[in-house]
Amino acid sequence: MNQEILRYRQLSANEVNFYHTFGYLMLPGLISRDAADCLAEEVLQVMAGIGVSRESLTRASTSKDKLRQSSQYLAGSAMERLIHSEGLLGIAARLMGGSSTLYLPFTAVKSGGGGGRFHFHQDNQYTRFDGPGINIWFALGEMKPENGCLQVAPASHLQGTFDPVESEDRDGHRTVAVEPEDFLPIRTMPGDAIAFTRLTLHGSGANSTAQPRLGYAVQFHRDDVRATRDGEDIGLLKENPRFNIQPVDRISPSNE
């Protein structure tokens, strides 16, 4: 892989302890502002490639505007450098306590003009891991409550996996029966990241600004993790990956 995209890769023991205690860890300035700007442009190009124009991202119209996700990324792109960064894999492994593997990268785009609130949920309410999984989420623009920044419930990961409840919007997303009263809005600047466990309750508010909220998520699992999906045993994820995580030569709607 080309030059490392991260600005740092070492974490202190206190940072690791904070992550295990509270279920999340802020990683300020993990990539540069220039790198964040480059990734933001690539995310918009991915959106265009799957048929979502820049103009349409300034207004919310359907439940899909809650979060537009695509795991596609181009070969030779800044996204590829980030997704396959040895430093990022090392951070994931350090926080999860063992050798780890890339699970899934994806865009996290919320339309402007009222892009919907995303209910509190756990990533583990979808594909259920029997061990550590992590989401390292990058802000590619300024994130604040007004544009639907991430919200996390500290230490919620200590309660295990909650039974999933279908979102009241009936859009296929999952939530919890009782949403947390104590949570933090995660205010970030371009290039900041937050790492959180697969069990950490998180969500986001509506985007009431005129511009789309652009984020990017890279998920990993520890190498000894097994998984189930809707009660079906997937097996050891390292041997039975769920997703194609390789770059593509062209972004296409048919691949989503």
Domain that holds residue 112: 13-248
**156, part of any domain:** yes
For residue 57, the domain's CATH number is 2.60.120.620
Would residue 3 count as lying in a domain?
A: no
**Eight-class DSSP state of 194:** E
Residue percentage of the chain with pLDDT more than 70: 95
Q: Is position 229 within any domain?
A: yes
- Distance of CA 103 to CAs 55, 59, 136, 167, 218, Å? 31, 31, 11, 25, 8
In a domain, 110, yes or no: yes
Instruction: Please work out, in degrees rounded to the nearest 5, the angle formed at the alpha carbon of residue 209 by the alpha carbons of 205 and 214.
Output: 70
Average pLDDT in the 35-42 region? 98
Q: Does residue 33 register a pLDDT over 60?
A: yes
Give percent above pLDDT 90 in the chain. 82
Confidence at residue 166, expressed as pLDDT on a 0 to 100 scale: 79
pLDDT in tens, 52-89: 999 989 887 665 567 899 999 999 999 999 999 999 99
Whole-prediction pTM: 0.94
pLDDT at residue 178 tops 60: yes
Greatest alpha-carbon span in the chain: 45
Any idea what DSSP says for residue 114?
A: T
What integer best gives the mean pLDDT of the chain?
Answer: 93
Per-residue pLDDT tens over the stretch 101-152: 999 999 999 999 887 788 999 999 999 999 999 999 999 999 999 999 999 9
- pLDDT, residue 251, reads 97
Which pLDDT value is given to residue 170?
64
> Is residue 7 domain-resident?
no
How many distinct structural domains can be found in the chain?
1
pLDDT for residue 1: 43
For 155-175, the pLDDT digits (tens) are 999 999 998 887 776 666 778
pLDDT of residue 179: 87
In a domain, 2, yes or no: no
Residue 253 lies in a domain: no
Task: Count CB neighbours of 248 within 10 A.
Answer: 16
Burial code (b: 16+ CB inside 10 Å, e: under 16) for 226-236 equals bbeeeeeebee
Residue 225: inside a domain, yes or no?
Answer: yes
pLDDT digits (tens, 9 = 90+) for 199-253: 999 999 999 999 999 999 999 999 999 999 988 999 999 999 999 999 999 999 9
The HSE-up count of residue 153 (CA atoms within 13 Å, CB side) is 20
